[in-house]
Structure 1
Amino acid sequence: MAQILIVEDAPDNRTIAELILLDAGHTVMSVGDGASALSVAASLQPDVILMDLSLPRLDGWEATRRLKENPATCGIPVIAFTAHALPNDLDRARAAGCDAVIAKPFEIDNFLRQIDRAIVQPLERSRGNERA
């Protein structure tokens, strides 16, 4: 299964996401702010980052921008994990570099499908590059 970095400052939200992902067989690491996410992502190289957008120290929008600008982390899929789910918020998340959005509160099956989709897409791209 995948290694997933959860970036979430609300302990209850972080615990729920961790439990669901662990139960699905994934390895999970979590941090509580965007600044920590940058360093952990660079060293851990997770398969997917689940990024809250309202974070202390460095918000999720800016953390995602920086991850996507860094050659060491730009290929890691980032899924916005947010209560900011209005159309303008979704556009802003995608403009920052988020590959997908999971709105809170979330439905567990959809949550896991989005994670699985984010894991599979980079694998498909890399296989396509190998064939080229």
Structure 2
Amino acid sequence: MMTNEYFGGWKFAASACNGYQNDRVMIAAASDAFWAGGSACGRNYKVECRGATNQGDPNPCRGQDYMVVKIVYYCPSGCQGTIDLSQEAFAAIANPDADKTEISFHQYVDHLLMLLSAVALVSNCML
């Protein structure tokens, strides 16, 4: 999915998903496009910088090829992008001075973690 991303630069506050739980810094807010009444809470998304918008830095992508972020906030209507990344997550893939970039993102599932959890569950069942 291609979209514009807005670097909002928000600071830590109580999240819509987890209250005051520390969700670290690689976090994001979901817009109405995929918030789905809060069902996006806790989901991980792989976000990749794809290039410039018609504003700001003509070559904003830098750093890592992609970043995995966790949805912990809601970005209300009027949000400047489909997904709003924390300062740290945005800076990992793009120049923070760029303000907006073209990105792609999709839901990310760590299959190895799921496999390890399933193995642990099977082991517990065998006891």
Q: TM-score range by the shorter chain?
A: under 0.3
- Structure with the bigger percentage of helix: 1
- Structure with the bigger percentage of strand: 2
Higher relative contact order (CA 8 A, sep 6+): 2
The TM-score normalised by the length of structure 2 is 0.27
Between structure 1 and structure 2, the one with the greater Rg is: 2
